[in-house]
């Protein structure tokens, strides 16, 4: 067993000790009859998304009722921290998909434990064509009757949806916007029009060709400074998709910004227009929430070296912090955990691909210490 498993094994063992249930008295003659159980294999009802709720919002800007499908992360009740929010356009299709992806990436420690908000329309069919045309296009297209309401929908998000979410949930202003096809068109529009609203933009098969006038004009107005802090990720499916259209838009962005890692494009082999969406949202969220790897010098990192112990569980062996190559390592009983900790800041370090992190601080009496996080468990370590 790897040494680091030792620390979490205690919590795991304690969680498995379930107190014995008290003996229940036998029902008397006056007890209500026991409800009959459905036969084996019978349907029991629809599947629900755990830790989720549905809210309806009557918009004063657009004469329509929006439906917000909101899921909270697994550790939401563990603390009072504000959480990033991932806004999922076309929530009628993509809310459960993105919620699942977020849960898996957060479990691996690759993105924060975030709220997911699927935005869709109430009382519409599974194919809300007119609503999508109205809300996701930045200006009218004569070939698409009812299009051109993108600016109003942006106002709905900013002044109606965000306040509702931030009033009823512990939501931060760190936001990511995702969408595919027509919704990807809106994501691209939001990137150019309101880069202040979101940290990251994830667009799958963005149909920017449906608004050529807007994008031609706006791309001549955008400056590098306007998009300097934005992270945008684009995909298209290699099969029967709008790859030339997506490449053209991303190329125009790169012509403005230069060679920057903040803008990324992937052409996904073996899939088409909608089949590339799971890849887009997985890679796009990783891109949006990518953590820095600061180059801290050895002399700075040496301040953290030494043997640490857990005051509340003194029987656990010491953990030793060592520095090398600009990174930190943990040893236990002389054996390395096999994890490399990168610097997200001067005090916060993470092991990429795992939900294990270190946060250094001083105790009240001035001793060096760190908080070790393994999943949802936390351990306070103090230097000897």
pLDDT in tens, 310-331: 998 888 899 999 999 999 999 9
346 contacts: CB under 8 Å, gap ≥ 6: 294, 296, 300
Q: Is residue 152 left, alpha or beta, with left meaning phi > 0 and alpha meaning psi from -120 to 50?
A: alpha
Name the pairing type of β-strands 319-324 and 306-309: antiparallel
- Provide, rounded to the nearest whole percent, the portion of the chain with pLDDT above 90: 81
Could you read off the pLDDT of 257-274 as tens digits, one per residue? 988 889 999 999 999 999
Could you read off the pLDDT of 274-307 as tens digits, one per residue? 999 999 999 999 999 999 999 999 999 999 999 9
Could you read off the pLDDT of 115-162 as tens digits, one per residue? 999 999 998 667 899 999 999 999 999 999 999 999 999 999 999 999
Task: For residues 85-93, give the mean pLDDT.
Answer: 97
Residues across the chain:
384
Three-state SS string across the chain, please?
CCCCHHHHHHHHHHHCCCCCCCCCCCCCCCCCCCCCCCCCCCCCCCCCCCCEEEEEEECCCCCCEEEEEEECCCCHHHCCCCEEEEEEECHHHHHHHHHHHHHHHHHCCCCCCCEEEEEEECCCCCCCHHHHHHHHCCCCECCECCCCCHHHHHHHHHHHHHHHHHHHCCEEEEEEEEEECHHHHHHHHHHHHCCCCCCEEEEECCCHHHCHHHHHHHHHHCCCCCCCCCEEEEEEECCCCCHHHHHHHHHHHHHHHCCCCCEEEEEECCCCCCCCHHHHHHHHHHHHCCCCCCCCCHHHHHHHCEEEECCCCCCCCCEEEEEECCEEEEEECCEECCCCEEECCCCEEEECCCCEEEEEEECCCCCEEEEEEECCEEEEEEEC
Question: For residue 229, what pLDDT is reported?
Answer: 87
Question: For residue 185, what pLDDT is reported?
Answer: 98
Q: Which of 62, 114, 59 is nearest to 85 (CA)?
A: 114
Question: For residue 127, what pLDDT is reported?
Answer: 81
Task: For residues 10-27, give the mean pLDDT.
Answer: 41
Tell me the CATH number for domain 298-383. 2.40.128
* CATH domain 52-288 topology: Rossmann fold (3.40.50)
Asked if residue 6 has pLDDT above 80, the reply is no
Question: For residue 24, what pLDDT is reported?
Answer: 46
Question: For residue 260, what pLDDT is reported?
Answer: 86
Domain ranges of the chain: 52-288, 298-383
């Amino acid at each position: 067993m790897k040494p680091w498993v030792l620390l979490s094994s205690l919590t795991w063992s304690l969680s498995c000790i379930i107190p014995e249930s008290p003996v229940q008295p036998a029902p008397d003659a006056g007890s209500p009859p026991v409800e009959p159980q459905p036969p084996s294999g019978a349907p029991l009802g629809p599947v629900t998304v755990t830790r989720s709720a549905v809210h309806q919002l009557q918009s004063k800007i657009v004469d329509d009722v929006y439906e917000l499908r909101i899921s909270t992360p697994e550790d939401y009740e563990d603390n009072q921290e504000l959480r990033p929010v991932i806004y999922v356009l076309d929530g009628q299709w993509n809310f459960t998909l993105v919620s699942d992806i977020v849960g898996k990436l957060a479990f691996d420690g690759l993105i924060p434990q975030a709220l997911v908000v699927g935005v869709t329309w109430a009382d519409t069919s599974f194919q809300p064509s007119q609503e999508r045309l109205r809300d996701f296009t930045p200006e009218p297209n004569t070939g698409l009757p009812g299009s051109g309401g993108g600016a109003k929908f942006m106002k709905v998000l900013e002044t109606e949806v965000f306040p509702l979410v931030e009033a009823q949930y512990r939501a931060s202003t760190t936001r990511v916007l995702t969408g595919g096809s027509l919704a990807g068109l809106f994501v691209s529009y939001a990137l150019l029009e309101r880069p202040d609203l979101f940290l990251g933009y994830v667009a799958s098969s963005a149909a920017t060709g449906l608004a050529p006038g807007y994008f031609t004009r706006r791309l001549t107005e955008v400056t590098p400074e306007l998009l300097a802090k934005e992270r945008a990720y684009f995909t298209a499916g290699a099969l029967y998709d709008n790859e030339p259209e997506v490449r053209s838009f991303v190329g125009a962005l790169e012509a403005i910004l230069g060679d920057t890692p903040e803008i990324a494009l992937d052409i996904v082999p073996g899939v088409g227009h909608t089949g590339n969406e799971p890849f887009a949202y997985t890679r796009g969220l990783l891109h949006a929430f990518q953590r820095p790897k600061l180059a801290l010098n050895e002399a700075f990192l040496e301040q953290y070296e030494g043997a640490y112990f857990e005051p509340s569980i003194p029987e656990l062996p010491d953990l030793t912090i060592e520095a090398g190559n600009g990174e930190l390592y943990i040893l236990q009983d002389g054996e390395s955990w096999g994890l490399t900790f990168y610097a997200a800041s001067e005090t916060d370090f993470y092991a990429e691909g795992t939900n294990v992190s270190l946060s250094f601080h001083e105790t009240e009496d001035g001793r060096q210490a760190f908080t070790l996080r393994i999943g949802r468990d936390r351990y306070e370590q103090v230097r000897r």
